[in-house]
Amino acid sequence: MMNKQKKRRLTWQKEMVFEAVMNSDSHPSAGDIYAILADSGIGIATIYRQLSNLVEDGKIGSFEFQGEVRYDPVMQPHAHIVCSKCNRIWDVELPAEIRDFAPMNESFGDFEIDLTWKGVCNDCK
Ligand SMILES: [Zn+2]
Ligand SMILES: [Zn+2]
């Protein structure tokens, strides 16, 4: 019985962390998620663990930005535009043909696209 209860609790926490990433439009870090969920009482260690579980499950994406892991609700290949003042990150849609621009792309097989625009957003101007 104890086990069952523990499992349900973990699922609930995972769901909360997942929802927080999905509802964010700025590619949150673990610290951002912790701040968003401050009222829930979920600890930072649990948030780190659930975020990496979600990435492993293929439910959310992650990438490194300025030495910090940021989480991404969008799984299909896309680019980012970054504000260099507030460090918020927005999505940029990519045309499907973007993969064809890579030289030697046949010898690579599978590869990731990591493309970022940089500038200053309207809020920071
Ligand atoms: Zn900004
Ligand atoms: Zn993104």
Tokens of 69: 């892991």
CB 92 within 8 A of CB 57: no
Pick the closest to residue 47 from 31, 23, 28 (CA basis): 31
Question: Of the bound ligands, which one is closest to the alpha carbon of residue 124?
Answer: 1
What's the gap in Å between 87 CA and the centre of ligand 1? 6
What's the gap in Å between 81 CA and the centre of ligand 2? 9
Rounded-to-integer distance, Cα 50 and Cα 11, Å: 9
What's the gap in Å between 108 CA and the centre of ligand 2? 23
Rounded-to-integer distance, Cα 49 and Cα 39, Å: 18
| Residue bearing tokens 């951002």 | 32
Rounded-to-integer distance, Cα 84 and Cα 28, Å: 15
- DSSP assignment of 24-70: -SS--BHHHHHHHTGGGT--HHHHHHHHHHHHHTTSSEEEEETTEEE
**Where in the chain is CATH 3.30.1490?**
79-124
The band of 11, judged by pLDDT with boundaries at 50, 70 and 90, is confident
What's the gap in Å between 80 CA and the centre of ligand 1? 14
The percent of residues above 70 in pLDDT, for the chain, comes to 90
Its pTM stands at: 0.79
Rounded-to-integer distance, Cα 114 and Cα 11, Å: 31
Class of 79-124 per CATH? Answer: alpha beta
Question: Of the bound ligands, which one is closest to the alpha carbon of residue 82?
Answer: 1
Question: Of the bound ligands, which one is closest to the alpha carbon of residue 121?
Answer: 1
Tell me yes or no: is domain 2-72 CATH 3.40.50.720. Answer: no
Average pLDDT over residues 98-118: 79
What is the per-residue pLDDT across 64-81, written as a single tens digit (0 to 9) for each? 988 999 999 998 889 999
What's the gap in Å between 63 CA and the centre of ligand 1? 19
The band of 2, judged by pLDDT with boundaries at 50, 70 and 90, is low
What's the gap in Å between 118 CA and the centre of ligand 1? 10
Count the Cβ atoms, other than its own, within 10 Å of residue 113: 12
